[in-house]
């Protein structure tokens, strides 16, 4: 018998074991230290072993306890980065996704999975006010941004066939608050980071459309070819939403592709659509259900207005108009519209989670995150030892401990020590940002578990940490 075979009965036993462990983790989550106490040496000692030649059988599962202990707890007081909170119904779907092992390359390979993915993409597009947009799920916002900009380049300055050497220099515009994945994409696409323009921002940290227009004119004058504007709908530092309507107007006037990086913020359009006016004028939009739709990693999404542009960028046959079948459902191939071929059935978790809870529950959770962010911002503003460093546009709060009489450099150093101490204390987890050379403590709320008490503990923990460093 093939010794890799596992019977249904055996699978049930192992699955129950994992489910029991996962359920215990969820029950204990609120009380767990946010950072595991383990050092690098501890984790090496636990896990960095030689691969066993002989199978360990069910004993292999014993160390899963140590794995759980070695994880950062993502309870309601995890405020670092832009990290969603892993809605558990979706997590159950992930197990089935792996068992079914559908390769979502095309409808032919994965009929149910391909249809479900196209359906949830449609749900997402409609939910953020962009009905009619098409797209696919990706590994995250970085992959979606790369694909969006690959589409922009191929639409504006085709290079897939002959390369970029024969083309004039392309230029892409964004604000100084751009996420690093955009400059990475510009580098990978052969445009060169030097040709990514950082447009100045206003005091709400939003791109200035007049400056954008000046920069485009200047580049045109110098013989370069402006191809795309990347507006950000929810900057990673402060959640600023670039003014999409006037930016779309400039892009339209100069015939540039408009990509909106909504990896952090676009899903907030479920709760506050009025703040995202103009989003539907984009040519492509990235968004991250694994951030503000609370899905387990990984689940990003790229939306685009014109699927022909996706096929022009990603179809390798050059024969992108031809399909396997005249039937629009059965002939559909994701690989003609994506940089990936083998793709996991990411849509199942989203489909199950959205159907289980209903869209309204997500809208309310996002709305509540926004209210909690304002609650924290007001509490910081009232607290004489703390100061806000930027307006709170969505759910990212940048602030610092005021160190009266200290130089900027010493204030930064003090706040860096406070950050380290806050996280070591194990109650709340914060990350940081740098705003005009000021070191900021940063709390970001994209978490369906966070409560008022959780948010209030940010203040008490920062003050306690400050008294300890
Ligand atoms: C998180 C983020 C990204 C990158 O998304 P990943 O899913 O981490 O790859 C891009 N842009 C912004 C604004 C983000 O917040």
User: Which pLDDT tens digit goes with each residue over 273-316?
Assistant: 999 999 999 999 999 999 999 999 999 999 999 999 999 999 98
| pLDDT at position 326 | 85
pLDDT at residue 323 in the model: 63
- Per-residue pLDDT tens over the stretch 90-118: 999 999 999 999 999 999 999 999 999 99
The phi-psi region of residue 254 (left if phi > 0; otherwise alpha if psi is between -120 and 50; otherwise beta) is: alpha
- Dig out the tokens for 247 from the structure: 């930016």
pLDDT higher than threshold 70 for residue 146: yes
DSSP letter at 469?
-
The answer to whether the CB of 271 falls within 8 A of the CB of 367 is: yes
How many percent of the chain have pLDDT more than 70?
98
Cα separation, 258 vs 176, in Å, equals 17
Regarding the beta carbon of 295 and ligand 1, being less than 6 Å apart is answered: no
Give CA–CA dist 243/260, Å, rounded. 11
- pLDDT at residue 318 tops 80: no
Give the DSSP letter of residue 193: G
DSSP secondary structure string, 232-294?
EBS-TTT--B--HHHHHHHHHHTT-EEEEEETTTGGGGGT-GGGGTTGGG-SEEEE-HHHHT-
Q: Are 176 and 199 in contact (CB under 8 A)?
A: yes
- Residue 316: its pLDDT value, please? 87
β-partners of residue 401 are: 386
Ligand 1 test: best mutation among 80, 137, 138, 142, most atoms within 8 Å of CB? 142
Query: What would the mean pLDDT of 174-182 be, rounded to a whole number?
Result: 97
Does residue 1 register a pLDDT over 60? no
Mean confidence (pLDDT) of the chain? 96
Q: How confident is the model at residue 317 (pLDDT cuts 50, 70, 90)?
A: confident
pLDDT at 106: 96
181 Cβ closer than 6 Å to some ligand 1 atom: yes
- The pair phi, psi for residue 300, each rounded to 5°, is -105, 180
pLDDT at 321: 53
Exposed e or buried b per residue across 185-216, where buried means at least 16 C-beta atoms within 10 angstroms of its C-beta: bbeebebeeebbbebebeeebbbbbebbbebb
What is the DSSP secondary structure assignment for residue 194, as one 8-state letter?
G
Task: Flag whether pLDDT at 403 surpasses 90.
Answer: no
Task: Pick the atom of ligand 1 nearest to 288's CA.
Answer: 7
Give the pTM. Answer: 0.97
Q: Which atom of ligand 1 is nearest to the CA of 232?
A: 13
Please give the average per-residue pLDDT across 162-170, as a whole number.
Answer: 92
pLDDT at 404: 86
């Amino acid at each position: 018998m093939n010794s890799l075979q596992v019977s249904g009965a055996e699978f049930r036993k192992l699955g129950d074991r994992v489910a029991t462990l996962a359920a215990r983790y969820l029950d204990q989550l609120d009380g767990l230290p946010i950072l595991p106490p383990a050092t690098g040496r501890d984790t090496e000692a636990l896990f960095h072993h030689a691969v066993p030649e002989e199978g360990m059988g069910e004993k292999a599962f014993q160390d899963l306890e140590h794995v759980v202990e070695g994880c950062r707890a993502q309870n309601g007081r995890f405020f670092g980065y832009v990290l969603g909170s892993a809605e558990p119904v979706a997590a159950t779907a992930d197990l089935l996704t792996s068992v079914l092992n559908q390769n979502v390359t095309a409808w032919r390979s994965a009929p149910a999975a391909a249809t479900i993915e196209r359906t949830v993409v449609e749900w997402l597009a409609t939910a953020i006010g962009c009905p009619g947009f098409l797209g696919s799920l990706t590994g995250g916002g970085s992959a979606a941004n790369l694909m969006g900009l690959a589409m922009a380049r191929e639409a504006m300055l085709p290079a897939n066939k002959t390369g970029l050497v024969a083309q004039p220099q392309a230029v892409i515009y964004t604000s100084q608050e751009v996420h690093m994945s955009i400059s990475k994409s510009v580098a990978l696409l052969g445009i060169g980071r030097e040709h990514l323009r950082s447009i100045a921002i206003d005091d709400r940290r939003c791109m200035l459309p007049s400056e954008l227009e000046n920069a485009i004119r200047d580049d045109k004058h110098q013989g370069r070819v402006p191809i795309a504007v990347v507006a950000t709908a929810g900057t990673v530092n402060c959640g600023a939403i670039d003014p999409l309507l006037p930016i779309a107007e400039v892009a339209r006037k100069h015939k540039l592709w408009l990509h909106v990086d909504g990896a952090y913020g676009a899903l907030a359009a479920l709760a506050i659509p009025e703040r995202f006016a103009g989003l539907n004028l984009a040519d492509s939009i990235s968004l991250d259900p694994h951030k503000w739709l609370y899905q387990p990693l990984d689940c990003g999404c790229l939306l685009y207005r014109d699927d022909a542009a996706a096929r022009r960028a990603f179809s390798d046959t050059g024969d992108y108009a031809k399909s396997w079948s005249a039937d629009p459902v059965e002939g559909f191939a994701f690989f003609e519209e994506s940089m990936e071929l083998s793709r996991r059935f990411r849509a199942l978790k989203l489909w199950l989670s959205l159907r289980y809870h209903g869209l309204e529950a997500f809208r309310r959770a996002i709305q509540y995150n926004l209210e909690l962010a304002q609650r924290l911002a007001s509490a910081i503003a009232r607290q004489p030892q703390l100061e806000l460093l930027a307006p709170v546009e969505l759910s990212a709060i940048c602030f610092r401990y005021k160190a009266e009489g200290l130089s900027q450099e010493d204030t930064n150093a003090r706040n860096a020590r406070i950050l380290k101490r806050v996280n070591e204390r194990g109650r709340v987890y914060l990350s940081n940002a740098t705003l005009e050379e000021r070191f900021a403590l940063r709390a970001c709320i994209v978490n369906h578990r966070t409560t008022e008490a959780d948010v209030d503990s940010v203040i008490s923990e920062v003050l306690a940490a400050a008294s300890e460093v």
